């Protein structure tokens, strides 16, 4: 009886390990690709998602009227400064309802060191899975796959660990 119980527990443990391994592999291989979109920046530049391949990219949907967005912007700046020399790109996308003049004013006043884009038509938000809440942050790997989507305040420690891991790969 005792032997059957030990064998049963061992089989259950092995099954749990196998399921966890399969889930881990699936999460690595089934990451969705970032949508192919064209960004237009305040500086008048335009570029597409595919042009960012080879870099780890943070896409931050935000608004000047969003308190949590404004509060987290120094952390977005800090992450950009910490990682940008190693192949990390930041794109702050002001959402459709935001006033482009206020966005430009905020970017200038805070000397944002990264690209600031305006989603004037709402297309970028739609393509990135119907972004409706700000802030919403996407972390994209060097191959253009979405590693993580944060709705609301990101876990900055986790985000930094993911960026470090991806920059080393």
Average pLDDT taken over every residue of the chain:
88
- Cα 112–chain centre separation: 18
What CATH number did the domain enclosing 149 receive?
3.40.30.10
Query: Are residue 137 and residue 74 in the same domain, yes or no?
Result: yes
Query: Are residue 82 and residue 22 in the same domain, yes or no?
Result: no
The first and second tokens of residue 130, run together, are 């119907």
Q: How many folded domains does the chain comprise?
A: 2
- Give the domain range for residue 18: 1-30
Query: Are residue 63 and residue 144 in the same domain, yes or no?
Result: yes
CA distances from residue 134 to 22, 131, 162 in whole angstroms, order as listed: 33, 8, 21
Query: Are residue 20 and residue 38 in the same domain, yes or no?
Result: no
pLDDT on residue 99: 96
- Cα 130–chain centre separation: 15
Q: Which position has the higher pLDDT, 86 or 16?
A: 86
Please identify which residue in the block is written with the tokens 């796959």: 145
pTM: predicted TM-score of the whole model, two decimal places? 0.81
Rounded Cα distance between 164 and 157, Å, is 11
Please name the residues in contact with 123: beta carbons below 8 A apart, sequence gap of 6 or more. 37
pLDDT on residue 52: 96
- Which is nearest to 60 in space by CA: 39, 82, 46, 44? 39
pLDDT on residue 88: 98
Query: Are residue 22 and residue 60 in the same domain, yes or no?
Result: no
pLDDT > 70 fraction of the chain, expressed in percent and rounded: 82
Beta partners for 94? 62, 118
Q: How confident is the model at residue 31 (pLDDT cuts 50, 70, 90)?
A: confident
Query: Are residue 136 and residue 81 in the same domain, yes or no?
Result: yes
Chain segment 109-144, per-residue pLDDT in tens: 999 999 999 999 999 999 999 999 999 999 999 999
Query: Are residue 2 and residue 45 in the same domain, yes or no?
Result: no
Query: Are residue 56 and residue 120 in the same domain, yes or no?
Result: yes
């Amino acid at each position: 009886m005792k032997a059957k119980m030990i064998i049963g527990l061992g089989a259950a443990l092995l099954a749990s390990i196998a399921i966890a391994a399969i889930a881990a592999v699936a999460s690595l291989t089934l990451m969705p690709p970032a949508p192919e979109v064209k960004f237009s920046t305040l500086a008048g530049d335009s570029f597409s998602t595919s042009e960012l391949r080879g870099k780890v990219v943070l896409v931050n949907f935000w608004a000047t009227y969003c308190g949590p967005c404004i509060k987290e912007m120094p952390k977005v700046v800090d992450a950009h400064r910490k990682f940008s020399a190693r192949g990390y790109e930041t794109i702050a996308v002001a959402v459709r309802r935001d006033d482009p003049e206020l966005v430009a004013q905020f970017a200038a006043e805070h000397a944002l060191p990264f690209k600031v884009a305006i989603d004037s038509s709402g297309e970028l938000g739609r393509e990135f899975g119907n972004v409706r809440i700000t802030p919403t942050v996407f972390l994209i790997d060097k191959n253009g796959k979405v590693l993580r989507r944060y709705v609301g305040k990101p876990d900055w420690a986790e985000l930094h660990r993911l960026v470090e891991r991806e920059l080393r790969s």
